[in-house]
Chain A
Amino acid sequence: MGVRKSDIVLLDDKGIRCDGRKIDEPRNIMIKAGVLKNANGSAYIEFGENKILAGVFGPRDVHPKHLANTDRGILRCRYHMEPFSVSERKNPAPSRREIEISKVIKEALEPAVMLENFPRTVVDVYIEVLQADGGSRCAALDAAAVALADAGIPMRDMVSACAAGKVADTIVLDINNEEDQEGQADMPVAYMPNLEKVTLLQLDGVLTPAEYKKCVETAINGCKIVYEIQKKALKEKFFGDSPQ
């Protein structure tokens, strides 16, 4: 915000980006599982400057009752940004952007969760963005998937998410806020690493067919990096010797 276009060098001649990363390097990612006492499962993620908390409740009774499904459980998801999470205060009421993101995150998690095991129940996933940076929907999804696993809900696979994009005519992994504002394209992707299926895919910005292919491949590689960090977080929670 307030930074002029000409002030930022998005990609220098050595292939180093505005925050010092290489083109295929994600930001620092830290995930901790089981951070909340009352939720059935929870996770906290720091993904670059993103700080996001996810809590999972359920399977539990559905209210209102008419939403219940008799042959399988339902998944509900709320992605919410705190008013203080961005430079200018955000109205706390859910925006159209947040409602859309909640929907795509839900649909990205649904293929992984074995909802057919829990008819007439709901699994609620609550995501609170405490501080937002570029790529918050991917970071939110990463935390939500770990929280679901932490809650012990049967899953077919983990869901790992990472964005790729086009900056200074180059396809790069995990674009940050500046690159999102000034770059040419942003493509968030969620991926089930073992089933090899993309469960979330969005794109803003123009790509040639070849760039599109490269961008999906780059993002999937990012998802595989995130997957290892998610696994590590769960192993630390369940097998680590650090006291919880």
Chain B
Amino acid sequence: MNTPIIDDLKKKKILALLKDGQRVDGRALDEARPLIIDTGVIPKAEGSARVRLGDTEIVCGVKIQPDKPFPDLGDRGIFICTAEILPLADPNVETGPPNEEVIELARVVDRGVRESGMIDLTKLVLVKDKSVIGIFVDNTVTDYDGNLFDACSYASVASILSCKVPKWEIKNDAPSLVPDSASAPPITTIPVSVTMGKIADTIIVDPNADEWKCMDGRITITTNSAGNICAVQKGGEDGFTFEQLIKCSELSISTGAKIREILKQVPGGDKC
């Protein structure tokens, strides 16, 4: 993933096409790739999804278990979202500790879901300051074709929407599982992340791997069901003008609304 190497011919073709407002795979500039979501693919996880965004594929699982709250947030459950790029996803991925790119990916996906307030964490408290429910969302990238930010975000959201939260009771100061009484998670909104690339001042939505290698800059904007903006991350080596930032925010709202309709078809997604 670190190697920005791309055939000169391919890059020239991508740039030449963009000059005429065309993309290398025939999409419109503001068109995301087809999004396919299967949920419940890992029955042992409390929620799960396999998501394909074009040829990028993510498997995401949600594990839910009792945990101690963070010291300063005793009245809230725990939410942690991670992402990992597996070595089988791309020839350039190496095993070992996560590099800065993977850390950024995980933090941006986490921020989008967290800042939207998608899960009402105040409903996940068993005993204030002592025992709360933790929701752990782990994304694994199994096949790479660019734009992991959005693919992991959709996988996380689909897994959370379709998950079932088990019920615990406090017995002898410890949480004890109440069998067969799992319920739907406390969902408040559906966050949708939209990543846009900037190639020579042209803004494109959902860049694929080849476009990703030609990008001068990128920006990921997450919006909620009310059409408000809840998280932003700019990346890449070039800056954005004020007008471009406004255009990107408008694109993220319009494209996000289309993708939210797909996420609403996920079991549990009709609540928002």
Query: Is the CB–CB distance between A198 and B245 below 8 Å?
Result: yes
Restricting to B141-166, which residues have a CB under 8 Å from any CB of A?
A: none
Query: Is the CB–CB distance between A216 and B242 below 8 Å?
Result: yes
Q: How far is the CB of A93 from chain B (nearest CB, A)?
A: 12
| Bound: A229/B166 CA distance, A | 56
Residues of A within 8 A of B132 (CB): none
For the complex, is A204 an interface residue (Cβ under 8 Å from B)? yes
Query: Is the CB–CB distance between B232 and A203 below 8 Å?
Result: yes
| Bound: A123/B232 CA distance, A | 28
Q: How far is the CB of B116 from chain A (nearest CB, A)?
A: 7
- Nearest B residue to A220 by beta-carbon distance? B242
| Bound: A217/B233 CA distance, A | 17
Chain B interface, number of residues (Cβ within 8 angstroms): 34
For the complex, is A202 an interface residue (Cβ under 8 Å from B)? yes
Given contacts A107-B235, A220-B242, is CB(A205)–CB(B115) below 8 Å? Answer: yes
Which listed segment binds B: A55-63, A94-102, A234-242?
Answer: A94-102
Query: Is the CB–CB distance between A198 and B233 below 8 Å?
Result: no
For the complex, is B7 an interface residue (Cβ under 8 Å from A)? no
Query: Is the CB–CB distance between B72 and A1 below 8 Å?
Result: yes
- Nearest A residue to B110 by beta-carbon distance? A96
| Bound: A63/B160 CA distance, A | 44
For the complex, is A65 an interface residue (Cβ under 8 Å from B)? no
Q: How far is the CB of B202 from chain A (nearest CB, A)?
A: 16
Interface secondary structure of A, over-half rule:
mixed
Q: How far is the CB of B109 from chain A (nearest CB, A)?
A: 12
Query: Is the CB–CB distance between A99 and B234 below 8 Å?
Result: no
Query: Is the CB–CB distance between B232 and A209 below 8 Å?
Result: no
Query: Is the CB–CB distance between B250 and A102 below 8 Å?
Result: no
Q: How far is the CB of A200 from chain B (nearest CB, A)?
A: 6
Query: Is the CB–CB distance between B245 and A206 below 8 Å?
Result: no
Q: Which of B100, B101, B233 touches A202 (beta carbons < 8 Å)?
A: B233
Residues of B within 8 A of A204 (CB): 111, 115, 231
For the complex, is B87 an interface residue (Cβ under 8 Å from A)? no
Residues of A within 8 A of B233 (CB): 104, 201-203
For the complex, is B249 an interface residue (Cβ under 8 Å from A)? yes
Query: Is the CB–CB distance between B107 and A206 below 8 Å?
Result: no
Query: Is the CB–CB distance between A111 and B240 below 8 Å?
Result: no
| Bound: A201/B239 CA distance, A | 9
Given contacts A102-B100, A201-B219, is CB(A206)–CB(B239) below 8 Å? Answer: no
Residues of A within 8 A of B117 (CB): 206
Q: How far is the CB of B248 from chain A (nearest CB, A)?
A: 10
Instruction: Report the 10 A-B pairs with minimum CB-CB distance, sorted nearest first.
Output: A197-B239, A203-B232, A201-B234, A199-B239, A206-B230, A103-B100, A110-B237, A212-B229, A198-B240, A99-B103
Please give 18 more A-B residue pairs, beta carbons under 8 A apart, in addition to A111-B238, A205-B115, A209-B227. A96-B107, A103-B101, A110-B237, A192-B239, A197-B239, A199-B239, A201-B234, A201-B240, A201-B245, A203-B231, A204-B115, A205-B231, A206-B115, A206-B228, A207-B228, A216-B246, A217-B242, A220-B242
Which A residues are within 8 Å of any B CB, using their own CB? 1, 96-97, 99-100, 102-104, 107, 110-111, 187, 191-192, 195-209, 212-213, 216-217, 220
A-B contact pairs, 24 of them (CB 8 A): A96-B103, A100-B103, A103-B100, A103-B235, A104-B233, A107-B234, A191-B239, A197-B239, A198-B234, A198-B240, A199-B238, A199-B239, A201-B232, A201-B233, A202-B232, A203-B233, A205-B230, A206-B116, A207-B230, A209-B253, A212-B229, A216-B242, A216-B246, A220-B242
